[in-house]
Amino acid sequence: EAQVTQNPRYLITVTGKKLTVTCSQNMNHEYMSWYRQDPGLGLRQIYYSMNVEVTDKGDVPEGYKVSRKEKRNFPLILESPSPNQTSLYFCASSPRTSGANVLTFGAGSRLTVL
Amino acid sequence: GQNIDQPTEMTATEGAIVQINCTYQTSGFNGLFWYQQHAGEAPTFLSYNVLDGLEEKGRFSSFLSRSKGYSYLLLKELQMKDSASYLCAVRADSNYQLIWGAGTKLIIKP
């Protein structure tokens, strides 16, 4: 089944404890992206990647890191989490073709930083 | 700046028709998307418009007017399972970046 898989789905952590949210897709998509979603604010892009070894900042990159060493994986790293990073996180991917590049989203990772 | 506006919340009755509007002001335009998101779940693709006019897909239709910076999503024969948030997103240029609206929460009542 074509899908984007995120882990963990739920996580409660404490301020300053480094964590990684993994994202993997099995559709051979070139484009991958991380979003956070907060009530009333909609989806805000954190980082995106157009292909292997190519990453760029989105609208809210502060406090986050990413890497794209393989086409299928795009982990999100919080080096020193803070309470304002408590949010629902989505990874998404799409092919790089013309026309409607439809995003396929992972199921989401709900992160709470105490 | 770039901006997308949608109503925050709408209420409709099962079996009825509802229209969810989206207006945008962006530096360019290269397509408009509608996604559906049930509470606590991932967004899923509904429709894509790049030319003016109406695109129909079963009970759902999406309309675009590029000159007015306006789109709407029309849902017919509403069902309880249509209770969800509907997200409007615009691709402003030729890359893959989307500008997202905050979403419209649709509540369906029996």
Residue of B nearest to A89 (CA): B42
User: pLDDT tens digit string along B1-27?
Assistant: 789 999 999 999 999 999 999 999 998
Chain A / chain B CB contacts < 8 angstroms: 51
pLDDT tens for residues B46-85?
A: 999 999 999 999 999 999 999 999 999 999 999 999 999 9
Prior bond of B110 cis (ω within 30°): no
Percent of chain A with pLDDT strictly greater than 90: 87
Distance, CA of A54 to CA of B108 (rounded, Å)? 43
Give the separation between CA A61 and CA A65, rounded to whole angstroms: 8
At residue B93 the predicted structure's pLDDT band, cuts being 50, 70 and 90, is confident
Q: What are the pLDDT digits (tens) for A24-52?
A: 999 999 999 999 999 888 899 999 999 99
What average pLDDT does range A101-106 have in this prediction?
A: 92
DSSP character for B27? Answer: S
As given in the structure block, the two tokens for residue B11 are: 């209420």
Is B21 exposed, middle or buried, given 0-12, 13-18 or 19+ CB atoms closer than 10 A? Answer: middle
In the structure encoding, which two tokens stand for residue B109, read together? 């009542």
- Measure the CA–CA gap between A39 and B76, rounded to whole angstroms: 27
Q: Does A31 reach chain B within 8 Å, measured CB to CB?
A: yes
The CA distances from residue A89 to A54, A97, A102, B76, B96, in Å, are: 21, 25, 18, 31, 19
Q: Do B45 and A102 touch (CB under 8 A)?
A: yes
| Cα–Cα distance, A41 to A99 (Å, whole number) | 27
DSSP state of A73: B
Asked if the C-beta of A5 comes within 8 angstroms of chain B's C-beta atoms, the answer is: no
| Distance between start and end Cα atoms, chain A | 36
